Amino acid sequence: MRSFLTGISVTLLLATAATAGDKNPATDWLHEAKVGAFMHFLPSESTYPLVDKFDVSAVARQLADAGVRYLVFTLGQNSGYMNSPNAVYEKLAGYAPHERCSKRDLPKELAAALKPHGIRLMLYLPCQTPNRDLKAVRAFALPEKPVNGDRRLDPAFAARWARVIQEWSDRYGQSVCGWWFDGGYKGVAFNSDIARVYEQAVRHGNPNAVVTFNPGVSLRRWTDSEDYTAGELNEPFKYACAGRWLDGSQWHVLTFLGKHWGARGTRFPDEQWTRWVCDVTAKGGAVTLDLGPNYDPSAGAIGTFSQEQWKQLRAIVDAVDKAKAVRESR
């Protein structure tokens, strides 16, 4: 274990005040929230300037009007371009300031805009460096040859990536209440030791932050470090919630309203969604729904959702709230 943690500060290792594990009460807010939104806002080389045009206020108003209780927002993904500054990442990856990490801090602005509406902010981040940025891949000493699109992890890399995570977690503190880590696959050697290192980095900034690691399209508890299930599902209606806890993790599903991740249309009618989400939340589960952000200035404010998706999201939340009111009145 000592060699595995090389390069991580002692303060990071001692900072975990809230411990992930069976039935962590830090997930109570997620259980009560019931329904949240997810946004894949992923700048590329051509769309990187849109970070500066992202309309935080308009997005906050849409989410508030829809009645959701939390938003999961992407820091970045495969392209290598990030929605937030991170000096540690750029130094380790060999980039000049703001060459890949935006000068504008979208998570900070979103947290401030959402707070008056009682909406919490969570962050999305892969478990490794951006897959399509070979300069970063080499700088972090990951294998250049991917395995099914991802690269095999090792303890030394995990220690370096934890420094990047901690830079964000320290800056945002309690304004970010949770993290959803992608790419925690068995095939790339992701394991409980790596999960524990990332968990500690997250909790260095907010001891009560909840965390999960995505093992792929499935619904299960993957590591002892996670507080809620990642629950990435393409076909959600095949899954039923039997209760709040799934092997000690808060039962949670992440799926998409559109035809695929980040799409702006709808694939199922309102009634089908409301029946399933109402059943899940009545039994103690939580559901996060992905909506597609706008990248086209001629189509409206950057980052906002289509009216079609927004109306469907609102219909789902309204149905969940009405069902809860009926239960509580009995």
209, part of any domain = yes
pLDDT category, 15, cuts 50, 70, 90? very low
Contact 176, 203 (CB under 8 A): no
CA–CA separation, 160 and 124 (whole Å)? 18
255, part of any domain = yes
Confidence (pTM): 0.93
3, part of any domain = no
When divided into structural domains, the chain yields a total of 1
137-196 confidence digits (pLDDT tens): 999 999 988 878 889 999 999 999 999 999 999 999 999 999 999 999 999 999 999 999
pLDDT surpasses 70 at 247:
yes
pLDDT score for 24: 96
324, part of any domain = yes
The percent of residues in the chain predicted with pLDDT above 70, rounded, is: 94
CA–CA separation, 264 and 83 (whole Å)? 20
Strand ranges, E, within the chain: 35-39, 70-74, 120-126, 178-182, 210-213, 245-246, 249-250, 252-256, 286-291
Domain span holding position 275: 10-329
Over range 183-212, report the average pLDDT. 97
Phi and psi, residue 73, nearest 5°: -120, 140
Query: DSSP of 149-165, one letter per residue?
Result: TB----HHHHHHHHHHH
pLDDT category, 330, cuts 50, 70, 90? confident
Q: What angle do CA 107, 108, 110 make, to 5 degrees?
A: 60
2, part of any domain = no
262, part of any domain = yes
Q: Name 147's bridge partners.
A: 150
pLDDT score for 85: 98
Over range 283-293, report the average pLDDT. 98
5, part of any domain = no
Give Cα 203 to chain centroid, integer Å. Answer: 15
pLDDT category, 212, cuts 50, 70, 90? very high
Residues 160-178 as b or e (16 or more Cβ within 10 Å = b): bbbbbbbbbbebbeebbbb
pLDDT surpasses 50 at 1:
no
pLDDT surpasses 60 at 13:
no
217-238 confidence digits (pLDDT tens): 999 999 999 999 999 999 999 9
pLDDT score for 10: 33
1, part of any domain = no
pLDDT score for 14: 34
pLDDT surpasses 60 at 16:
no
pLDDT score for 231: 98
66-115 confidence digits (pLDDT tens): 999 999 999 999 999 999 999 999 999 999 999 999 999 999 999 999 99
Q: Which CATH number covers residue 172?
A: 3.20.20.80
Residues in the chain: 330
